Amino acid sequence: MNSEKIKIGVIGVGHLGRWHVQQLKLIPGAELVGFFDSDPLKSTAVQKEFNIKSFSHHAELLEQIDAVSIVTPTTTHFDYAQEAVRAGKHVFIEKPVTETVEQGQKLVEAAEASGVKIQVGHIERFNPAILALEDITLNPLFIESHRMANFNPRGTDVAVVLDLMIHDIDLILSFVRSPVQSIDASGVSILSLKEDIANCRINFENGAVANVTASRISARKMRKMRFFQPNAYISVDFLEGTSEVYELVDPSSAPSAKNLAISFGTIGQGSNSREIRYTRYDKKDINPLHYELSLFINAIRENTRPPVDGEQGVRALKVAKQILEKIEEHAETVKKHWDFNSGS
């Protein structure tokens, strides 16, 4: 383990980057050197609030650090990340990793050639509701996912698939661990120029199926994922940070001592009998951003693979792009149908 602190800087201190600054200041293995943002007003505000150096050019910041956190709009991720990687700096990059899959792949190759690490900000991996399931073997055959948000113009420069659904795509790919076989999808733009609501069905080669819905025009917020697998049903509530598991277990096995566990009786006879057990995993006191950034710093200090590396970021982006292609195909069908009905 490298005993030196990792010198790190932030590029982009808007809505999320400001939180990166706040959390990086609190991580013992990191030394926050400063930040760069192209907006002078925002720079002054963040400099004053956190009492850290605002650099007037990103290149000047890069010279003084070992690692950088890129929290700018997605269209700028590739250029900043490529420059940093070529300069031998480790890169934390917000999701989606880059604008295009080709850029993401180029970045992964460049990082390998330079011997630096890339971690992508798929923060839901570190949601307490997901972390609580570390002892559960997730082997889902069917997944139902809903991510419904209120409308906010921020983020509407990209479709809801790239803004919100990509979190669920990343999680699902990490749990199913099988190549995608086919995708069916549809989406509608209502308030913005890009799709504000989308649904897709992802079929995996191993037979698993995921039905995923994301919306940014919902009156009520909801972020849930439900996993169905032989002998277990697992429900994750990302907003609450809690998880519930219903499973068939050996009646002689000890229920969780740390969490609320209730027996709903047994089914079957003799050695075939199984207990229906419910366990509720209450919220762990973890700040997902702090934890995610700490793991990045640890990966650099201990020279290990970051938990969500560049390849995983590209993998999620690739599936998101396939979903967008299917949405376009579906939109063409709808358009033809409407043209036909209107007689034009």
How many Å apart are CA 110 and CA 91, to the nearest integer? Answer: 12
Task: Give the binding range for ligand NAD (CB under 6 A) out of 72-80, 103-111, 227-235, 294-302.
Answer: 72-80
Cβ 154 to ligand NAD shortest distance, Å: 5
- The answer to whether 170 contacts ligand NAD (rule: CB under 6 A) is no
- Interface pick for ligand NAD out of 66, 94, 196, 275 (rule CB under 6 A): 94
Question: Which strand (E) or helix (H) includes residue 62?
Answer: helix 58-63
Residue with tokens 């570390």: 134
Cβ 124 to ligand NAD shortest distance, Å: 7
Query: Whose Cβ is closer to ligand NAD: residue 95's or residue 117's?
Result: 95
Cβ 338 to ligand NAD shortest distance, Å: 32
Residue among 174, 286, 280, 184 at smallest CA distance from 237: 280
Contacts of 314 (CB under 8 A, 6+ apart): 97, 98, 101, 104, 105, 108
- The answer to whether 15 contacts ligand NAD (rule: CB under 6 A) is yes
- Burial classification of residue 38, based on how many CB atoms lie within 10 Å of its CB (0-12 exposed, 13-18 middle, 19 or more buried): exposed
Query: Whose Cβ is closer to ligand NAD: residue 95's or residue 326's?
Result: 95
Cβ 14 to ligand NAD shortest distance, Å: 2
Cβ 243 to ligand NAD shortest distance, Å: 19
How many Å apart are CA 114 and CA 102, to the nearest integer? Answer: 18
List the Cα angle 94/319/176 in 5-degree steps.
95
Task: Give the binding range for ligand NAD (CB under 6 A) out of 7-15, 106-114, 209-217, 316-324.
Answer: 7-15
Residue among 167, 213, 179, 112 at smallest CA distance from 317: 167
- The answer to whether 313 contacts ligand NAD (rule: CB under 6 A) is no
CA separation, residue 52 to residues 20, 66, 67, 128, 276 (Å): 13, 17, 16, 30, 54
How many Å apart are CA 117 and CA 108, to the nearest integer? Answer: 9
- The answer to whether 123 contacts ligand NAD (rule: CB under 6 A) is yes
Amino acid identity for residue 257 in this structure: A
Give the 3-state secondary structure of residue 323: helix
- Interface pick for ligand NAD out of 154, 177, 335, 336 (rule CB under 6 A): 154
Residues 25-64 that bind ligand NAD (CB under 6 A): 37-39, 42
- The answer to whether 76 contacts ligand NAD (rule: CB under 6 A) is yes
Query: Whose Cβ is closer to ligand NAD: residue 70's or residue 232's?
Result: 70
Cβ 73 to ligand NAD shortest distance, Å: 5
Residues that bind ligand NAD in the complex, under the rule CB under 6 A: 11-17, 37-39, 42, 71-74, 76, 94-95, 121, 123, 154
